[in-house]
């Protein structure tokens, strides 16, 4: 968990600060907010305070807080300082070292990494002065994330939208995460597969892909080059991750093997269908034509087993989603597949596993006593623990 200081400046996108506070908290971080007076005309201090659980500071000289010299205390508290949205005016102040309000004064005193998410009218963003300010901030080490492109509140279309909040969070987290996977190429599979019965219907499973996506995001945050092969999923692509979308198990096999050559770490978290219809109907099957429908299913390729046969020096991690005898079944899968690690979890529980934001896993290695229990927590934390175990395996 990190200490995130969120600076909010006075643009229409300030209303998204509430959602950003919640996002940081959901990812396990402690958040405090410093806002400009104009920002509080767009979003209330009460809302931000209620969500963050800490007083929102906006005044440079506030009698109740100056006993600790508030701008210094906030600057020293922060492990990462995120300014979102960052208006053209605030960008100019940050670039030139001006400190005429609490936010910019804290920024001048803060030694923590600075993340800036610009949001403004497209013409203001394109102005040479704004571009020069962004260039200057970047040269000083600030991380610039965004802006996005699209319809703007002012009616114009173009650059200037506040970038996706997940991207802001990912960049902020990367600033406070050691690049332990720098130089590694991590290949991750995630989500379900969908095996077609006809042009309308598919056989699939309950996997949402959240665990695999969390692993991909955690690996990217640690400096790895990440390729994510994703079955059908509406989850957003993690920041800095190359995504390959597939549907069937055979498509997933082709994509995984196609990306395998450069991979140094392979984490196969996808819930791949073991069987698929022998042949998909060319037209929609009609229920009126039969009282019963008999399907012929054929075995899908075993992606994990095939990757292990091509392992070389790669570290290969498989997943075992079980509903009973979790450790026994996972241990059997580890022995059969021959991978380095198996991550086992009980998907019969409604509070962890499929399509929820939390998980509880056991990581099994080849030794009889090589068992690492990871208690229930957000999938982002579980992903981090899995990668820590992978690093232990690679460096032993």
Q: Which residues are catalytic?
A: 154
Give the span between the Cα atoms of 47 and 244, in whole angstroms. Answer: 39
Query: Coil, strand, or helix at residue 196?
Result: strand
Contacts of 172 (CB under 8 A, 6+ apart): 2, 4, 24, 80, 82, 115
Please tell me the distance from the alpha carbon of residue 227 to that of residue 274, in angstroms, as a whole number.
Answer: 23
Give strand ranges (E) for 135-218.
Answer: 143-144, 148-151, 157-161, 185-190, 195-196, 202-203
Secondary structure class of 144 (helix, strand, coil): strand
Cβ of 150: how many Cβ atoms within 10 Å?
10
Name residues whose C-beta falls within 8 Å of residue 205's C-beta, 6 or more positions apart in sequence. Answer: 192, 193, 271, 273, 354
Phi, psi angle pair for 249, to nearest 5°: -65, -40
Are 168 and 117 in contact by the 8 Å Cβ rule? The answer is yes
Q: How far apart are CA 162 and CA 120, in angstroms?
A: 8
CA distances from 298 to 7, 76, 107, 247, 250 (A): 56, 61, 61, 17, 12
117/142 Cα distance (integer angstroms): 10
Cα angle value 159/165/169 (rounded, 5°): 120
Q: Can you read off the two tokens belonging to residue 212?
A: 């695999």
Other C-beta atoms within 10 Å of 221: how many? 29
DSSP 20: H
């Amino acid at each position: 968990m990190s200490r995130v200081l969120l600076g909010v400046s006075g643009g229409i996108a300030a209303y998204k600060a509430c959602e950003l506070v919640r996002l940081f908290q959901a990812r396990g971080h402690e958040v405090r907010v410093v806002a400009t007076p104009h920002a509080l005309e767009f979003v209330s201090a009460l809302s931000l305070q209620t969500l963050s659980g800490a007083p929102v500071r906006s005044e440079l000289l506030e009698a109740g807080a100056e006993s600790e010299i508030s701008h210094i205390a906030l600057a020293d508290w922060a492990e990462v300082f995120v300014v979102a949205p960052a208006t053209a005016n605030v960008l100019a102040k940050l670039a030139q070292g001006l400190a005429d309000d609490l936010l910019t004064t804290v920024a001048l005193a803060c030694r923590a990494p600075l993340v800036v998410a610009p949001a403004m009218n497209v013409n203001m963003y394109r102005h040479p002065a704004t571009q020069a300010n962004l260039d200057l901030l970047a040269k000083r080490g600030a991380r610039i994330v965004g802006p996005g492109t699209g319809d703007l509140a002012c009616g114009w279309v173009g650059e200037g939208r506040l970038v996706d909040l997940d991207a802001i969070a990912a960049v902020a987290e990367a600033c406070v995460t050691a690049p332990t996977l720098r130089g590694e190429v991590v290949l991750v599979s995630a989500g379900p597969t969908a095996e077609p019965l006809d042009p309308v219907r598919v056989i699939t499973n309950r996997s949402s892909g959240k665990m695999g996506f969390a692993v991909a995001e955690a690996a990217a945050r640690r400096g790895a080059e990440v390729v994510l092969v994703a079955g059908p999923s509406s989850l957003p692509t993690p920041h800095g991750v190359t995504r390959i979308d597939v549907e069937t198990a055979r498509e997933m096999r082709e994509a995984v093997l196609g990306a395998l050559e450069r991979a140094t770490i392979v984490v196969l978290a996808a819930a791949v269908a073991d069987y698929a219809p022998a042949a998909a109907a060319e037209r929609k099957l009609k229920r009126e034509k039969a009282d019963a429908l008999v399907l012929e299913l054929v075995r899908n390729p075993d992606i994990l087993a095939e990757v292990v046969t091509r392992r070389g020096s790669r570290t290969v991690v498989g997943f075992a989603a079980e509903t009973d005898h979790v450790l026994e079944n996972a241990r059997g899968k580890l022995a059969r597949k021959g991978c380095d690690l198996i991550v086992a979890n009980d998907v019969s529980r409604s509070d962890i596993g499929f399509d929820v934001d939390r998980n509880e896993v056991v990581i099994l290695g080849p030794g009889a006593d090589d068992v690492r229990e990871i208690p229930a927590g957000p999938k982002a934390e579980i992903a981090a623990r899995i990668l820590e175990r992978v690093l232990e395996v690679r460096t032993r």
